Chain A
Amino acid sequence: MILLQITNQSSPLNISGVLFFGTMGMLALAIGLVLFIIFHQRRVIRYQLQLKEMEEEQQKILLNASIRWQEEERQRIAADLHDDAGPLLATARLYLNENLVKQDISTQLQAIYNAKQIIDDTIQLIRNISHSLMPPTLKNFGLESAVNDLFQKISGSGSMNASSRFHDYRQRLRPEQELLVFRVIQELVNNILKHSNASFIHVTQNYNEDRFFIRLHHDGRGITQADVERLNKSALGLGLKNIQSRARVLHAKIDFEKDMSQTYYKVTLEVPVEEYEMIT
């Protein structure tokens, strides 16, 4: 308005000034805006590339952790078979060796009885290995029973008070999902037993809208999300990385935090169920 008033009364020189400065100002604004957009875009692209690199790095760490975990599991099974089943079967073979026919009947019977006992132990051992690979309770009766079973065993040992409560598990997850959730719980419990020195563990289950929740509380030394992120960047925390790769397969979110009261540590696993068909 002021510019217009000045222009109306003024000489052509003033119009020139208004034209020059007005045009330059508008051009500066327009070019400034375009440059801002271009540089902002470049910054966004750089940021996205960094994010991508970090994600790839994270994926690599998780993959390595998964491979290492598989190798450790294989070594454990191999050790169980080699150290336990191997000597047992070798002993049974000793009892049943060629010299047995030369013995008297009572020695033969005793040897056969001993061999039978050893073979029974071997069967039990192989059953235990098999159960550790795939818990039969989980397969036959579902996640709730498997978790209850696991917690009863822990409580039964007397080292810790372990309890679980499933509030709403009328609709079961799909078997492969149940196995993954069970493995996550197993790994968490394992970590608590090994590192936390807790006196109790309590697991609760619930549904909220389209989400399946598992919450695990304990009163020992725990970790928070910041610790998890720190461990993710290092080669340590194989169990945690396994938990995270399983959570990733489930498209689930896992949060490690300290309770509001600052007394307990809490781990929450949140599984979106709309992506996974539930079975009744």
Chain B
Amino acid sequence: MLYLEKHTIITTVLRNIAVLSDLLPLILFIFFARSKKNIGLRVAFYIVVFSAFINFFVLSNRQAREYTFLIGRITTIFEYSLFSLLFFNIIVSRAFKKGIVVITILIGLYLLYDLFSTANNSFDSVPSGITSLTFLIYCIFYLFERVSDPTSLFLYSSPVFWVVVALIIYFAGTFFPFIYAQSHMKEDQFISEYDLIHDTLYIIKNLLFGFAMLIKDTTIKSPSSITKKK
């Protein structure tokens, strides 16, 4: 009993910090970002604005809480579109870009189908799991593409790198909670564990987004670098 109480306090505190953590990248982008035109920072900014809007205004409204799962599905579609756009812009390989377009269309159609056909009374585990896996693949491909390009130096001085790091950590960490959420969301212990994992990773994601906002895009390329387009 005591354990559960402690747990509830921790999850509540974490939830509040997570909600407030949206403000960090937002403020840093508006006031301190030195590369505002950077696609990674812009996408991160729009995602954070959307999340902050949902967290502060929609979920604080009692009527809106009834539509939590519907809002979750819409959020998944919104995030999916923006992150697909981000990876389409930052990945160099033309073949992979074509793949991104095809996958985006297919998964986009599935997400829309899921939104309209499924009753909005449960967590969207399958769409979330699919999108998480897709982003993990995109993130891994982006990182290996950068590593295999001998001309790209000081990769970690690029804001996009930290945005991708934030995404890979967030999506890798929340993959299992998302997958099990649909069938176990009614269990109190699962909810508290889900909140604990999700909120912690959400805070880490926002911290990394905030860190990315502070970095000036100074990715150094060696003199002979000519981006090879496959």
B-contacting residues of A (Cβ < 8 Å)? 7-8, 12, 15-16, 18-20, 22-23, 26-27, 29-31, 33-34, 37-38, 40-41, 44-45, 48
Contact = CB atoms under 8 A, between A and B. Distances in A.
A186 to B, nearest CB: 32
Given A12-B187, A27-B172, A38 B156 contact: yes
Given A15-B180, A45-B154, A26 B172 contact: yes
B147 A48 contact: no
Contacts, number: 72
B172 A29 contact: yes
5 contacts: A8-B183, A30-B136, A37-B147, A45-B153, A45-B154
Contacts of A12: 184, 187, 189-190
Interface footprint category on B: 20 to 34
Interface of B: 136, 140, 143, 146-147, 150, 153-156, 165, 168-169, 172-177, 180, 183-184, 187, 189-190, 193-194, 197, 222
Nearest to A31: B169
Contacts of A48: 150, 153, 222
Contact of A27 (B153, B154, B169): B169
Specify which of B140, B173, B177, B190 lies most central, judged by the most chain A CB atoms within 10 Å of its CB: B173
Contacts of A22: 175-176
Q: Which 4 A-B pairs have the closest CB atoms?
A: A22-B176, A30-B172, A26-B172, A30-B168
Given A12-B190, A48-B222, A30 B169 contact: yes
A27 B150 CA distance: 27
Contact of A23 (B154, B156, B173): B173
Nearest to B175: A26
A37 B184 contact: no
B153 A19 contact: no
A33 B143 contact: yes
A219 to B, nearest CB: 40
Contacts of A31: 169
A12 B175 CA distance: 18
Nearest to B197: A23
